[in-house]
Amino acid sequence: MNDCCRKMIVQDRIALKKGHGNLPYFELRFNGAEAHVYLHGAHVLHYQPAGQAPVLWQSKSSHFEPGKPIRGGIPVCWPWFGPHPEDPSQPLHGVARLVEWEPVQSAATGKSTSITLKLPDSAYPDASLQLTVELSDHLGVTLTTTNKRDTELKVTKALHSYFSIQNIHDVTVTGLEGQRYINKLLPDKSLQTQTGPISFAGETEHVYTNTPHDCSVIDKARKRRIHIRKKNSLSTVVWNPWVEKAARMPDFGNEEFREMVCVETANICSDCIVLPPGQKHAMHLQIQAQPI
């Protein structure tokens, strides 16, 4: 364990442990709640409020190795979302989730337990990136980009959250009613309008743009509502791979689509962030689960 990691540890509140694939992670505790933050990709893989089932889903088939993304939790998609805008040889969803980040600071107070990590400068010299995870009666995640160039920097990004649900057939996503979205599965990429709550009966990939709205996952079978609040994010992606796409993904169990739904907090497509030289942009996500 290097000195940087050792300095983050706080007895009973922040521990450094070895997890899947023997990868190191920080275990955060606060009033019976727990979160796990892997140094690989600054990946929040686990969040469990006191007395509840885990809120984030993780695949039993996930890779846990350098250069590959972890399947589940909250992948950091940065500095591009989806395919690289110009170079098809670049990895899907950017470089941030593929490398080990460095711990910067931690805190354990009467209000929360938190840790901040930063992307190594070598991973993307044009910008610096930090992720802060704060555990209290909810989970807060803040992704902060700083433009290090002397020209403007265009960035698309997402906190690509995988939520654990009991049964995809008995789940809805509310809060996006009336919002405009692109249905990525249709050849026609024109904007549709969301009518009513989102339910799931097949592969679903909706990109809601120009929407600052919070939303919720209503898990009827588990009798739980997961509130997803955000700041400085104008895009939300709702995704479930369903049968065929799940079967094509080696790090995703064939039947696991039934127990997860992605609601991603993002700035993508027309909501791309254009940062002047030296400027910062902080995108904030807050996850809170409550019985219904």
Provide the binding-site residues for ligand TA6, judged by CB under 6 A: 69, 82, 92-93, 160, 205, 237, 239, 262, 264
CB of 77 to ligand TA6, least distance (A): 8
CA distance 240 to 201: 10
CB of 241 to ligand TA6, least distance (A): 7
CA distance 138 to 120: 28
Cis status of the peptide bond prior to 79, with omega within 30 of 0? yes
CB of 92 to ligand TA6, least distance (A): 4
What would the two tokens of residue 61 be?
A: 């088939």
Q: Quick one: 94 or 103, whose CB is closer to ligand TA6? A: 94
Q: Quick one: 24 or 91, whose CB is closer to ligand TA6? A: 91
CB of 56 to ligand TA6, least distance (A): 14
CA distance 114 to 8: 10
Tell the residue number behind the tokens 């026609």, with chain if given.
Answer: 188
What letter does residue 39 receive in the DSSP assignment? T
CA distance 192 to 195: 9
Q: Quick one: 20 or 148, whose CB is closer to ligand TA6? A: 20
160 catalytically annotated: yes
Instruction: Spot the catalytic one: 40, 160, 206, 284.
Output: 160
3-state DSSP assignment of residue 266: strand
Instruction: Spot the catalytic one: 134, 205, 256, 264.
Output: 264
86 catalytically annotated: no
Q: Quick one: 160 or 230, whose CB is closer to ligand TA6? A: 160
Catalytic annotation, residues: 160, 264
